[in-house]
Amino acid sequence: MRLTALDEVSERLGLKRGQGLAEARAMFPKIDVVDEDGAADQGLLEAIADWCDRYTPLVALDGREGLFLDITGCTHLFGGEEALLKDILGRLLQMGFDVKGAISSSPGLSWAACRFGRGGVIADQVTEAVLAPLPVNALRIDEATIAALYKLGLKRIGDLLPMPRAPLARRFGIHLLLRLDQALGHNEEVISPRRPVAALSAERRLAEPIQAEEHILQLAGQIAISLKSELEARGVGGRVFELVLFRVDGRVFRIAAGASQPLQDPKRISLLFSERLNAVHDDLDAGFGFELLRLNVLQYDVFRISQGDFTGNGDSEISLADFVDRVSARLGADCLQIAEPKQSHVPERAEVFVPAIASRIVREKTEEIFTFAPKSDRPLRLFRHPELMEAFAATVPDGPPQRFRWRRIVHEVIRAEGPERISPEWWNDEEDVEERDYFRLESEAGRRFWIFRAGHYVAGKTAPTWRVHGIFA
């Protein structure tokens, strides 16, 4: 077992990362050792990354102990780079994290300056001056290369800078030069943000944190008003919205809500979240309140402006969409479904349930979709999995049973219609799927069933199975 992380006191004692635990114990018998919990560390880093979303939407994780923030175009909101860095470090320090930060024009330089230098804001002119005294470890290269460089006496980055590039590349590989160029800012390096950048977003910072749900909703409505002009300018309406709530103590809540139709109206957007807040009521712990609210538009669609007529008949369409949105926001998109027809003659494949919120039937009033319309009767209710039954006295080879037992009840068959043969789809099914002969049966009680026989009666083989697939009205 080895030490993977140290606190301030143990660092001062002279312990090192990577040191054996037995050795450290031998040196200082009283040290406290805690098992490493990688998942918890990762969770903490992600929570901090979430919190950092307040500064820029582009936050990327860097290994297990670092974050990259792309603050291009964001600094003026916080009063410049110096103020921004001071704000981040100050707030994190208040939360109990000892953090080093650096702002520079390349991720590589910032990385080096944070870990091996003094950090802070590094201007473009002093890049080489800052980089030169740092050890070669600051270049994000593997251990073997570092060892080889040390062996040659190239301990500092400053030693590498005046060297000719070709021999370096030949000896240590192209990777070293790439890292060097990235640190110097000659080579573009992109960071990969954790979340996709919202198409549109607006936020509100609060001097006094808010806790009550109605205040959150009211504020969400206000933010939606400021989004409206931008949505109108683009001619789009939001389909998926996300409300990001930054709690005072650094926790971040994200509440997403979808709409069946593109929305611009602030009132309807805020209504969407009112249902959503009701649904997540228990999970949303306001604590000491939220200090920053942001409304993101994650997905949008072309907004078609329709003019209402004098009779007001256009309202029913809006109220249906509204109803679908409210239900989907509260009970989840899967709760409300619509059956969309599929091109298949196999009964259970002829329809597929899709969420009403995503269905094109609700969204656009398209003309009737062409489907396979069976000539014979189909049941009113269909079992998802046909249920096994026992058939008695079935007419061989292809007749209906006189009597059958299903769910421990014997039904006497009075009338029967059939058979209707439905073959398996050879382009979808396995070879051993049997063809089915369907019958409509009416029992003496007047109940009507849709049953089928899978396969045929063949001499010398086991009898085919019978199943109930649906019931008629």
Partner 1 sequence: MAEHATAQETLFALREQIARLEGKPLPALAAAEQADLAADPEGQKARNNQPRLPFGIPPMDTALEGGLPLDGITEIRSLLMGDAGAASGFALSLASHLKARQPGDAPVLWIGDVVSTQEAGIPYSVGLKQFGLSQRDVLYASPRKLDDALWLAETAVASGAVVATILEIRGNPRHFGLTESRRLGLRAKAAGRPLFLLRHAGEEEASSASFRFLVEPAPAARRHLPEGSELGGSIGHPVFRLTLEKSRIPAPLSLLLEWNPHDRQFSLGREAGEAFSFRNPPAHPGARLPASADRQDRAPALGTVVAFERAS
Considering beta carbons, is residue 193 or 470 the nearer one to partner 1?
Answer: 470
Q: Is 471 in the site for partner 1 (CB under 8 A)?
A: yes
| Spatial separation of the C-alpha atoms in residues 472 and 396, rounded to whole Å | 25
- Count of Cβ atoms closer than 10 Å to residue 84 Cβ: 22
Q: Is 410 in the site for partner 1 (CB under 8 A)?
A: no
Candidate residues 267, 415, 425, 429; the one interacting with partner 1 per rule CB under 8 A: 415
Candidate residues 247, 268, 276, 326; the one interacting with partner 1 per rule CB under 8 A: 326
Environment class of 271 (CB within 10 Å of its CB; exposed 0-12, middle 13-18, buried 19+): buried
Query: Is the separation of the CB atoms in 173 and 145 below 8 Å?
Result: yes
Give just the sign of the alpha carbon dihedral 285, 197, 84, 126.
Answer: positive
Considering beta carbons, is residue 50 or 322 the nearer one to partner 1?
Answer: 322
Considering beta carbons, is residue 30 or 365 the nearer one to partner 1?
Answer: 365
Query: Is the separation of the CB atoms in 313 and 297 below 8 Å?
Result: no
Considering beta carbons, is residue 125 or 306 the nearer one to partner 1?
Answer: 306
Q: Is 322 in the site for partner 1 (CB under 8 A)?
A: yes
Query: Is the separation of the CB atoms in 300 and 230 below 8 Å?
Result: no
Positions in 280-319 near partner 1 (CB under 8 A): 313, 316, 319
Longest dimension (CA), the chain: 100
- Which residues does 57 contact at the CB level (< 8 Å), separation at least 6? 193, 195, 197, 198, 201
Q: Kindly determine how many residues on this chain lie close enough to bind partner 1 according to the rule CB under 8 A.
A: 54
Give the position of tokens 């006094």: 208
- For the bound state, the minimum distance from the C-beta of residue 314 to partner 1, rounded and expressed in Å, comes to 11
- For the bound state, the minimum distance from the C-beta of residue 256 to partner 1, rounded and expressed in Å, comes to 20
| Spatial separation of the C-alpha atoms in residues 171 and 98, rounded to whole Å | 39
Query: Is the separation of the CB atoms in 404 and 436 below 8 Å?
Result: no
Candidate residues 93, 163, 414, 458; the one interacting with partner 1 per rule CB under 8 A: 414
- For the bound state, the minimum distance from the C-beta of residue 417 to partner 1, rounded and expressed in Å, comes to 5
Residues 139, 145, 149: CA angle, nearest 5 degrees: 85
Residues 182, 175, 172: CA angle, nearest 5 degrees: 130
Query: Is the separation of the CB atoms in 193 and 154 below 8 Å?
Result: no
Considering beta carbons, is residue 147 or 373 the nearer one to partner 1?
Answer: 373
Contact string 423-442 vs partner 1 (x = CB under 8 A): -----------------x-x
Stretch that binds partner 1, among 35-43, 148-156, 246-254, 367-375 (CB under 8 A): 367-375
Q: Is 373 in the site for partner 1 (CB under 8 A)?
A: yes
Q: Is 150 in the site for partner 1 (CB under 8 A)?
A: no
Q: Is 444 in the site for partner 1 (CB under 8 A)?
A: yes
Considering beta carbons, is residue 3 or 271 the nearer one to partner 1?
Answer: 271
Q: Is 259 in the site for partner 1 (CB under 8 A)?
A: no
Give just the sign of the alpha carbon dihedral 214, 216, 219, 220.
Answer: negative
| Spatial separation of the C-alpha atoms in residues 141 and 252, rounded to whole Å | 34
Query: Is the separation of the CB atoms in 247 and 287 below 8 Å?
Result: yes
| Spatial separation of the C-alpha atoms in residues 269 and 288, rounded to whole Å | 26
Stretch that binds partner 1, among 48-56, 85-93, 260-268, 321-329 (CB under 8 A): 321-329
| Spatial separation of the C-alpha atoms in residues 247 and 255, rounded to whole Å | 13
Positions in 331-360 near partner 1 (CB under 8 A): 331, 335-341, 347, 350-351, 353, 356
Residue 421's beta-bridge partner residues? 437
Candidate residues 79, 133, 235, 374; the one interacting with partner 1 per rule CB under 8 A: 374
Q: Is 408 in the site for partner 1 (CB under 8 A)?
A: no
Helix, strand, or coil here: 420?
strand
Q: Is 381 in the site for partner 1 (CB under 8 A)?
A: yes
| Spatial separation of the C-alpha atoms in residues 387 and 396, rounded to whole Å | 22
Considering beta carbons, is residue 193 or 355 the nearer one to partner 1?
Answer: 355
- For the bound state, the minimum distance from the C-beta of residue 278 to partner 1, rounded and expressed in Å, comes to 9
Q: Is 400 in the site for partner 1 (CB under 8 A)?
A: no
Considering beta carbons, is residue 294 or 440 the nearer one to partner 1?
Answer: 440
Q: Is 86 in the site for partner 1 (CB under 8 A)?
A: no
Q: Is 137 in the site for partner 1 (CB under 8 A)?
A: no
Q: Is 473 in the site for partner 1 (CB under 8 A)?
A: yes
- For the bound state, the minimum distance from the C-beta of residue 359 to partner 1, rounded and expressed in Å, comes to 9
Between helix 174-184 and helix 107-116 the angle, nearest 10°, is: 90
- Which residues does 11 contact at the CB level (< 8 Å), separation at least 6? none
Q: Is 412 in the site for partner 1 (CB under 8 A)?
A: yes
Interface residues toward partner 1, by CB under 8 A: 313, 316, 319-320, 322-324, 326-327, 330-331, 335-341, 347, 350-351, 353, 356, 361, 365, 368-369, 373-374, 377-384, 409, 412, 414-417, 440, 442, 444-448, 470-473
